[in-house]
Amino acid sequence: MSYSRSCCTIPPVKSDYVPQGTIEHLGDLPVYTVGPKDATKAVFVFYDIFGFHVNTKQFCDILAKNCGWKVVLPDFFRGDYLVPSDLGNREKIMGWVATKGNTEALTPEVVIVQDYLKASGVTAAAFVGFCWGAKIAVQLTSTLPFFVGASCIHPSFVDVSDAEKAGAPILNIPSKDEPDMTEYMAVLAKKPFGDKCKLVRFDDMHHGFCAARGDFTDPLNAKRANEAIQLTVDFFTQCFQNK
């Protein structure tokens, strides 16, 4: 398994952006929601280690505007995020992710959001996973068929065994800080949906450029983040066909 060293070292970017969505509460689980309330398709976003960060909400806002679907960003960690002072402490970060960001712990809460989406009229959804969330997203496509695809943006903890478990088409968008994913994609290519899987490297971008570590005031970062969003929209449009 390969993790991105930059995940443990690059700090989040401060921003004065004002999010356009709202916070809904599913029991004690806060969920940032943006996009049409009557949408029949949805995108479920796993944030990075900095949690409910304004830059990640900005990504969700742009995504919702570009696709016209409902976008949801659950706050699984309920405010208990890593902070910049934790950077450099690989042991703490890895332990925190292993405890809070594992599939077994999160699946029941993902199902809560899934049921909320179904009750609101959504017929199919897809995952966006940042950093550690990319790994979780791929794994969950094998157990939750309601989610018909996953876009993995600057993924961490890349493991070929996850590709073997994938149950739906996968779009990988690694940055310059992520490993070569040739073997990973070769495994996906053997799946029944292998021809729908895609790899698009952003080797001029750093880990986190679409989420908390993304600077949307920087012209190049904003341009490339928007390109990643459009790739994701196009990919999910194919995934949602006949759903």
Three-state secondary structure of the chain: CECCHHHHCCCCCCCCCCCCCEEEEECCEEEEEECCCCCCEEEEEECCCCCCCHHHHHHHHHHHHHHCCEEEEECCCCCCCCCHHHCCCHHHHHHHHHHHCCHHHHHHHHHHHHHHHHHCCCCEEEEEEEEHHHHHHHHHCCCCCCEEEEEEEEECCECHHHHHHCCCCEEEECECCCCCCHHHHHHHHCCCCHHHCEECCECCCCCCCCCCCCCCCCHHHHHHHHHHHHHHHHHHHHHCCCC
For 150, 154, 194, 221, the CA distances from 185, given in Å and listed in that order, are 14, 15, 9, 26
CA-based max dimension of the chain: 47
Q: Which residues pair with 126 in a beta bridge?
A: 43
216, 15 contact by CB (below 8 A): yes
Can you give the length of the chain in residues? 243
CA atoms within 13 A on the CB side of 189: 8
For the entire predicted model, the pTM comes to 0.92
Look at phi and psi of residue 198 and say left if phi exceeds 0, alpha if psi is from -120 to 50, else beta.
beta
pLDDT in tens, the chain (243 residues): 444 554 544 555 677 889 999 999 999 999 999 999 999 999 999 998 788 889 999 999 999 999 999 999 999 988 877 666 666 667 777 777 777 778 999 999 999 999 999 999 999 999 999 988 999 999 999 999 999 999 999 998 899 999 999 999 999 999 999 999 999 999 999 999 999 999 999 999 999 899 988 899 999 999 999 999 999 999 999 999 988
CA nearest neighbour of 20 among 51, 52, 65: 65
For 25, 47, 73, 160, the CA distances from 29, given in Å and listed in that order, are 5, 14, 11, 31
Query: Domains in the chain, please, with CATH?
Result: 5-239 (3.40.50.1820)
What pLDDT, on the 0 to 100 scale, is given for residue 242?
Answer: 82
